[in-house]
Amino acid sequence: MYPGVHAVTTPDKPALIMAGSGEVLTYRELDERSLRLSNALRAAGLSKGDVVAVLSDNDLHAYEVYWAAVRSGMYLCAVNSHLQPDEVAYIVNDSGASALVVSAGLGALPEQVAELTSGVRLRLAYGGPVAGYGDYEQALATASTEVPPVQPCGADLLYSSGTTGRPKGIRPELPDRQVHEPGNILVDLLRGFYGFDEDTVYLSPAPVYHAAPLRYCATVHAIGGTVVMMERFDPEQALRAIERYEVTHSQWVPTMFVRMLKLDEQTRHRHDLSSHRNAVHAAAPCPIEVKRAMIEWWGPILQEYYSSTEGIGMTMIDSAQWLEKPGSVGRPLLGVVRVCDDAGDELPAGEVGTVFFERDEIEFEYLGDPEKTRSAKHPAHLNWATTGDLGYLDEDGYLFLTDRKAFMIISGGVNIYPQEVEDVLALHPSILDVAVFGVPDPEMGEAVKAVVQPAPGVRPGPELERQIIDHARERVAHYKVPRSVDFVDEMPRTPTGKLVKGKLKARYGN
């Protein structure tokens, strides 16, 4: 399924609404404009398997570009619009993009990128003129509206968030089907497990370039529902959007929950959320007390999944299951979970190791990095793959994540998982954001360090440090308690909520 199917049956139905402005893109418009752009791409010499990059803020036009690529058998590379020019250029060049479509709303960034991406053949800008780019609207106006006899299905080519180094492109194999034919696994999952259908109104508060919002919004279009996309996340505006547009489904990351929970009681309960039936969350671990508070507020509508941009597997857990297994990310839905030690041997229930998914076929590659592709596979089982997360299975087969392998602290020979300490500090009233990691220590090898962004109006200093350490000591084993706390004005997180812990660790010689 794709928007062209719904353009025939419900042409005037909103495919996408911008939450703040109320601007609407109907299915008729999405189908016609993506068709025109796909014909413009072909006229410029692009063909099946080529890469179309889009550099955009949250904007209606981003999905015109998405569907133009996908209905042409091409790869759509959505680039993080919060990167620096050289970082954007690295992704555009590394992906081999033949076309680059940008939003004028990003200021000087697209123009700076143009100077660094000489290999791009077609450049278009929407939302206003951008030096070095052709006019997007003019390109569409002069393009053909003839539907090609075949429309092979394309795919996305997305880059890892780069929280532990240079981002890597994740390129799947192209589907062996036409864009209108069934076979989209995500369509089947969202229909079957979350109740997505033609009446779904889906709120997307996250940046459009990130894997989950990009794919879920596109899946809503494939099914025939309506996407409500926030220009940017704001906790109160998100609640207002649920009420205004009678949102039925949504997707979040845990930092958004924390921001909403820290609204005052009157603001939190001001809006009618009765239409809201399913609140999906993923992308980062959710502290137990945060999730418990959200279930108490919104009811048992929270649905969590654990997956990755690589698409190697998926677990899922609903609210009722989570209340029985607090902290779990569920049981496998796609693939079989295997937890292995450093030698690759499977571990029994309760023991922490590297999380692998076993699938009949795992077909992806890290673009231009065969060594990283190889290292993501189990040494003895090539159909087992990992993204480097650590965790354990309980006796009932529920998966619990402990942290990423790169962030595990070894202090005095004991393994410490920073996520556990971060979780107990997340809702401390004086803390807006927190990161915990190991720093070099001459006696213990590594010592536990906490870096905190204080809540607005809270004064950092020795007294707050003592409060935070005491708070942790009451809730975790003493050897896990931070030895010291440093304070920062802002924590380095991606706009999708992932902590860029490597940047913090680098300040301490790690």
Beta strand residue intervals within 37-181, DSSP E: 51-55, 75-79, 99-103, 122-126, 134-135, 155-156, 158-159, 169-172
Tell me the pLDDT tens digit for each residue of 128-137: 999 999 999 9
| Token pair in block for residue 58 | 């949250």
**Model pLDDT, residue 367:** 87
Q: How far is the C-alpha of 345 from the C-alpha of 364, rounded, in Å? A: 24
User: What's the mean per-residue pLDDT of the chain?
Assistant: 92
| Average pLDDT, integer, range 312-318 | 94
Confidence of residue 161 (pLDDT cuts 50, 70, 90): low
**Model pLDDT, residue 382:** 84
> Quick check: 414 pLDDT over 80?
no
115: number of Cβ within 10 Å:
11
Give domain 408-506's CATH number out of 3.40.47.10, 3.30.300.30, 3.30.930.10, 3.40.50.300.
Answer: 3.30.300.30
| Average pLDDT, integer, range 155-161 | 88
**Model pLDDT, residue 365:** 82
Q: How far is the C-alpha of 378 from the C-alpha of 325, rounded, in Å? A: 28
**Model pLDDT, residue 496:** 62
Phi, psi of 353, deg, nearest 5: -160, -170
- What's the number of CA atoms in the CB half-sphere (13 Å) around residue 424? 19
Q: Which of 182, 251, 315, 262 is nearest to 432 (CA)?
A: 262
**Model pLDDT, residue 440:** 84
Q: How far is the C-alpha of 62 from the C-alpha of 207, rounded, in Å? A: 11
Q: How far is the C-alpha of 176 from the C-alpha of 151, rounded, in Å? A: 11
Q: Which of 152, 186, 9, 158 is nearest to 69 (CA)?
A: 152
Q: Which of 100, 94, 108 is nearest to 166 (CA)?
A: 94
Beta strand residue intervals within 389-498, DSSP E: 389-393, 399-404, 409-411, 414-416, 431-441, 445-454, 484-487
Residues 6+ apart with CB under 8 A from 322: 291, 295, 302, 304, 328, 330
310: number of Cβ within 10 Å:
22
**Positive or negative torsion for Cα 486, 492, 497, 502:** negative
Q: How far is the C-alpha of 162 from the C-alpha of 168, rounded, in Å? A: 7
Tell me the pLDDT tens digit for each residue of 476-503: 888 899 999 999 999 887 766 677 787 8
Q: What is the enclosing helix (H) or strand (E) of 42? A: helix 27-43
**Model pLDDT, residue 478:** 87
Q: How far is the C-alpha of 59 from the C-alpha of 268, rounded, in Å? A: 27
Tell me the pLDDT tens digit for each residue of 357-367: 998 876 778 88
Do residues 487 and 475 lie in contact, with contact meaning Cβ atoms separated by under 8 Å?
no
Examine domains 3-223 and 408-506 and report if their fold is the same.
no
Higher pLDDT, 323 or 387: 323
Higher pLDDT, 497 or 332: 332
Hey, which of 313-317, 406-410, 442-446 has the most confident mean pLDDT? 313-317
Higher pLDDT, 387 or 11: 11
Do residues 420 and 402 lie in contact, with contact meaning Cβ atoms separated by under 8 Å?
yes
> Quick check: 165 pLDDT over 60?
no
Q: Greatest CA span in the chain, whole angstroms?
A: 72
Q: How far is the C-alpha of 131 from the C-alpha of 2, rounded, in Å? A: 33
**Model pLDDT, residue 412:** 72
Q: What is the enclosing helix (H) or strand (E) of 251? A: strand 249-252
Confidence of residue 426 (pLDDT cuts 50, 70, 90): confident
**Model pLDDT, residue 510:** 60
| Token pair in block for residue 220 | 């809503």
> Quick check: 235 pLDDT over 60?
yes
Do residues 42 and 253 lie in contact, with contact meaning Cβ atoms separated by under 8 Å?
no
Q: How far is the C-alpha of 294 from the C-alpha of 316, rounded, in Å? A: 18
Residues 6+ apart with CB under 8 A from 26: 11, 12, 13, 14, 15
**Positive or negative torsion for Cα 433, 318, 310, 169:** negative
| Token pair in block for residue 193 | 């497990």
The three-state (H, E, C) secondary structure of 196-245, written as one string: CCCCCEEEECCCCCCHHHHHHHHHHHHHCCEEEECCCCCHHHHHHHHHHH
Domain boundaries in the chain?
3-223, 408-506
Higher pLDDT, 219 or 162: 219
> Quick check: 355 pLDDT over 90?
yes
**Model pLDDT, residue 509:** 67
Higher pLDDT, 505 or 321: 321
Tell me the pLDDT tens digit for each residue of 77-116: 999 998 889 989 999 999 999 999 999 999 999 999 999 9
The lowest-confidence range among 14-18, 28-32, 197-201, 442-446 is 442-446
Q: Which of 225, 233, 251 is nearest to 304 (CA)?
A: 251
Q: How far is the C-alpha of 222 from the C-alpha of 432, rounded, in Å? A: 38
**Model pLDDT, residue 310:** 85
Percentage of the chain modeled with pLDDT above 90: 72
Q: Which CATH architecture has domain 3-223?
A: 3-Layer(aba) Sandwich (3.40)
